[in-house]
Structure 1
């Protein structure tokens, strides 16, 4: 099951603001927290006290909490790979190793007495996870989580990201990656905050579009907002978002008949399995609505990329089929354009796979 997550940085803000954010995020459907120990400079007892207070509240709201650490943090806080009591004491559910050990230690830690999750840095395309798997870990306590990149133009390229992620997915491991709020004056763990993204291509996209892109790719389980604090409007967009498939925002043409509106917005659409390069085809509506009259009412000469088409009854047994154009095409004269995918989401069309499900909703 896919989840949405937030990131918190207790040393950067007040407890009151953090608790209010956790509460807002819970209401919007978020259920995972990424918390950072790498940037904390306080002594062990103060860290324990502060994190315990926040984490107890977060757990009461149903959050799973993973804290970011490295071997240097283990050393500073007196943690060893065979004594992970500190994480249990601060009410964390696990920890993320920004830097790892030899593979044997990570594997042993997955059998810890507190059932803590051990999360591995997924943005390094080397054999780290393969080595850990060689030591037969408890893979149900093993996650993979990518980095985020505050510096503009320093985020991962998509091809490289996929290669890194595939190392974890081939073992059936849970994966996570980061998206960034576009709210002004946000912050993260470090001074530079030019957007905290995993994928560089996401840096200037709306928060919702970044999430939809990950949903379309299908290889990330936990999608985490990396910076604080997203706006109320950004969070509100996730309250009713179904994470099982992509829901495209669309604009609707004037005068679309009620029958076509039902086809657009009341159906779970399926990208037909025998895909082509010109259009996405959802063919089930033509079966469900067989015998209904689909009148011609908006037949532009050119169907443009992102246009949503419902075939008219002039097209015979194709009547009622919904299509989304992936490139510009000449209209045969039988195809109604009923709406259009919003401009920012157009690129996501290229990531839908054969048989992948999707829905449409009116933008705004």
Structure 2
């Protein structure tokens, strides 16, 4: 599943919500740790919640013991009337309150901090695993995102009890203030291509949410294509290759990814038969006989071959996607003009 995030402080929140909804996104996250300001600030949050609900998007919200006072409501159950379907509990909630809330909401436990004995205490209180979500933190400050091994160990714990897991990737383009350094769960994803970060997370968790408000460069579209149809989108500079969806061969070669059904019977003259770096797009020329026209993506640096034309290059930001390609994967190569 894919989700977006929206925040009170974001002046373009309405635009972001509508954009995501029109692309079919059905889940959204927000924080109801409302600032001390009341009045108009609280009213705007209520309006944003109602806007999201009007698009039939499922809202999950961070809440604390202060949320009730800030929103001016008497109990957490009143949040359901604002469209909130799930809540992520901050520290301070007793097990009886947690159990009671689990009867109304889908409850999110803090997947980044909870220990197994604490999880077992929650389950022993009578809460069913199917009403829970293990939801990781995001980390606004550089150098504080999770270490990958710790992240994987936490995930194994929740999977053991059949609890789905959600984590965050940074947005593309605009980042949430005040630090504007992205909102990833994993530190390694902070300055990584957000789409590549999302694809990597989908291999480990059940839900990926974009932590920041920025979704430029077709981030939602590409995540949706991967989540729904396993299509991985890669941007390429090429003056020869046509944009489109290509299938990788099911047998995986050590040095290159081979694109199926690209061989041709027409002439392919030797041209630009130079060294092939990681991410080079190549086409076999006439000197390779029946392989003529086969398109490949280089998985590592390779020497020049007079039988192989270099016809393009994956853009640097998308190179991490190469390590995520799988046998038989459909690949959407998005080509921009390159003169070589």
Alpha-carbon shift at residue 306 of structure 1 (Å): 0.6
The 1-side partners of 2:13 and 2:276 are apart by 48
Q: Deviations over 1:146-191 (max 9, x none)?
A: 211121222223333333334445536152313134437x42xxx5
Aligned match of 1:243? 226
Mapping of residues 49-88 of structure 1, within 5 Å: 51-70=45-64, 84-88=76-80
Q: Secondary structure of the equivalent of 2:61?
A: strand
Q: Work out whether residues 283 and 292 of structure 2, in 8 Å CA contact, stay in contact via their aligned partners in 1.
A: yes
Q: Do residues 120 (structure 1) and 109 (structure 2) align? A: yes
Q: Work out whether residues 144 and 175 of structure 1, in 8 Å CA contact, stay in contact via their aligned partners in 2.
A: yes
Mapping of residues 172-183 of structure 1, within 5 Å: 173-183=164-174
The 2-side partners of 1:22 and 1:302 are apart by 46
Alpha-carbon shift at residue 320 of structure 1 (Å): 4.5
Q: Do residues 7 (structure 1) and 6 (structure 2) align? A: yes
The 2-side partners of 1:357 and 1:55 are apart by 37
How big is the alpha-carbon RMSD for the aligned residues of Structure 1 and Structure 2? 3.8
TM-score, structure 1 length as denominator? 0.73
Alpha-carbon shift at residue 192 of structure 1 (Å): 4.3
CA change 1:74–1:55 in 2 (3 A) is closer
Aligned match of 1:225? 210
CA change 1:64–1:246 in 2 (3 A) is same
Q: Work out whether residues 299 and 322 of structure 2, in 8 Å CA contact, stay in contact via their aligned partners in 1.
A: yes
Q: Secondary structure of the equivalent of 1:62?
A: coil
CA change 1:139–1:344 in 2 (3 A) is same
Structure 2: segments with no counterpart, 5+ residues: none
Mapping of residues 23-172 of structure 1, within 5 Å: 23-41=18-36, 51-70=45-64, 84-99=76-91, 109-110=101-102, 112=103, 114=104, 116-124=105-113, 126-127=115-116, 128-129=118-119, 132=122, 137-169=127-159, 171=162
CA change 1:324–1:135 in 2 (3 A) is farther
TM-score, structure 2 length as denominator? 0.77
Q: Work out whether residues 195 and 219 of structure 2, in 8 Å CA contact, stay in contact via their aligned partners in 1.
A: no
CA change 1:64–1:333 in 2 (3 A) is same
Q: Work out whether residues 310 and 338 of structure 1, in 8 Å CA contact, stay in contact via their aligned partners in 2.
A: yes
The 2-side partners of 1:104 and 1:320 are apart by 67
The 2-side partners of 1:167 and 1:93 are apart by 25
Alpha-carbon shift at residue 360 of structure 1 (Å): 1.0
Aligned match of 1:285? 261
Name the count of aligned residue pairs. 329
Alpha-carbon shift at residue 310 of structure 1 (Å): 3.0
